[in-house]
Amino acid sequence: MSLDEHKKPSGNGNGVALSTQVAHRLRLNPSTDHKPDSYEDLQSDFSPLLFSSLERYLPPSMLYLSREAKIQFMRDILVRYSPEGERTRIQKHREYRQKIISNYQPLHGELYTMNAVNFFVPSFLKAINEKTDESFRSILVEPTPGVYVFEMFQPSFCEMLMSEVENFERWVHDTKFRIMRPNTMNKYGAVLDDFGLETILDKLMDEYIRPMSKVFFPEVGGLTLDSHHGFVVEYGVDRDVELGFHVDDSEVTLNVCLGKQFYGGELFFRGVRCDKHVNTETQPEEILDYVHVPGRAVLHRGRHRHGARATTSGHRCNLILWCRSSVFRELKKYQKDFSSWCGECRREKRERQRLSITATKLELLKRDGISAS
Ligand SMILES: [Zn+2]
C-alpha cells in the first residue's frame, strides 16, 4: 500500500472525513462475543495481537467488512496514536534481527524446534503435563517466599545451547558484526531472540512458564504473560564478573544455569518491592543466597530484588527469560498505593492495621472508663 492510500481514511482536509470518523467511532467496551480475525501473517510495525484486540472495539457496522478494510482502518488508528520514535525503533530492530538471521549459520539446527523430551528432565515434563498446583510443588523447593527452584534442562541441552552461543559469538567476532548486548548491565552474552531462537522461547514461555506462573505469580500477571526477552549471560574473570543489585524489566524471570565449571557467582535475593519501595530496607526473612547448579532453574518475580556475586574462577553461563504481561503493565498504571506483592507495602499495611487496632482499644478503654465513673 502506498503512503497516500494509507492516509486517505484520516484525511482531515474535508468535512466528509470528519463525519466518517464520527460514524466509525470505536466502541467504549470491547465486543466480547465477537471472534476477531487472525493477523499473525501481517507484516506490520504493530503486533498481530494488537490488531486482534483492537478489532473487538470496532463499531458493529465494521466487524463484517473485509479483513483488508479492517486492517486499513485499524492501522490508521494505530499510526495516529503510536509515537514516531517508537515505530522507527521497532522497525530498525526488525531489520537488525533479519540481517543476523539471514547471514548466521546455526550450528545445532535441532535447537530451533521444540523437542521437549530431549530438552527437559522427565520430572519437569511430568509436572508440566499434569499442570496442577501439587504437581509443580512436588518438583520444586521455595527457599524464600516467591523464589522457586527446580531441575529443568538435560545436560546435553545445556551443552548444545552453550556451544550454539559460542558459535554465534565466533561469527560476530569474525564478521565484526556489531551486536546489541542483552541489557544495560551485561557487556557479554547474547540475545537469543536475535539469532533465530525467538519462536522456541515463545513456546517455552507459553507452554512451560505461563502454567507455573499462573499458579505462583497470579497477582503480577502470571496468567497473561504475552511477550519475552530471552538471552544468555556469561560470567568469569575475562567476562562480566558480577551483577549489581537490581530488579528485572519483567513480571516473571526464569534463570537457568547452563554450566560450565565455576566458583562463586551466587545469586542473592532481597525481597519483592514495588517502584515506590525499591530502595527500602531488607527484612531478615527476605535474605536468600543461592548457589547455581547447571540444569537447575530459578523462577521469581521480576520485582524480586537480586544480584549476582563475583564468579571468581572458571566460566558461568546462564539462560535468562524475562516474561512480560502487557495487561499487567496497563493495569499497573491505574494502581493505587498498595501492591499485594510488595513486601514493604504489606508491612506498611500491617503497621496501619496494628495502629488502628491499638487506637480502637484505647477508645474502648476510655469509654469504659467514662461509663465506670
Ligand atoms: Zn510497595
Cell 512436588 belongs to 138
Continuous H helices in 217-338: 326-332
Taking ligand 1, which is a single-atom ion, which protein residues have CB atoms under 5 Å away?
274, 277, 339, 342, 344-345
CB 128 within 8 A of CB 211: yes
What is the C-alpha to C-alpha distance for residues 43 and 35, in angstroms, rounded to an integer?
A: 21
Return the SS3 of 82: coil
Q: How many CB atoms lie within 10 A of CB 280?
A: 17
* 248 CA from centroid of ligand 1 (Å): 16
* 342 CA from centroid of ligand 1 (Å): 5
Which residues does 139 contact at the CB level (< 8 Å), separation at least 6? 123, 124, 126, 127, 150, 151
Residue 14 to residues 24, 81, 103: CA-CA distances in angstroms?
16, 21, 49
Residue 271: which H helix or E strand, with range?
A: strand 267-272
Statement: residue 7 has pLDDT above 60: no
* 340 CA from centroid of ligand 1 (Å): 8
Q: Provide the pLDDT confidence category of residue 346 given band limits of 50, 70 and 90.
A: very high
User: What letter would DSSP give residue 290?
Assistant: E
* 303 CA from centroid of ligand 1 (Å): 10
Helix, strand, coil proportions of the chain in percent (round to 5)? 50, 20, 30
Statement: residue 224 has pLDDT above 80: yes
pLDDT by residue (tens digit) across 133-168?
999 999 999 999 999 999 999 999 999 999 999 999
* 339 CA from centroid of ligand 1 (Å): 6
* 331 CA from centroid of ligand 1 (Å): 16
CB 26 within 8 A of CB 57: yes
**Claim: this prediction has a pTM higher than 0.85:** no
Statement: residue 4 has pLDDT above 50: no
* 243 CA from centroid of ligand 1 (Å): 24
Whose CA is closest to 229, among 101, 94, 301, 322?
Answer: 322
* 282 CA from centroid of ligand 1 (Å): 13
pLDDT by residue (tens digit) across 258-293?
988 888 889 999 999 998 999 999 999 999 999 999
pLDDT by residue (tens digit) across 353-373?
999 999 998 888 888 776 655
Statement: residue 23 has pLDDT above 90: no
* 206 CA from centroid of ligand 1 (Å): 29
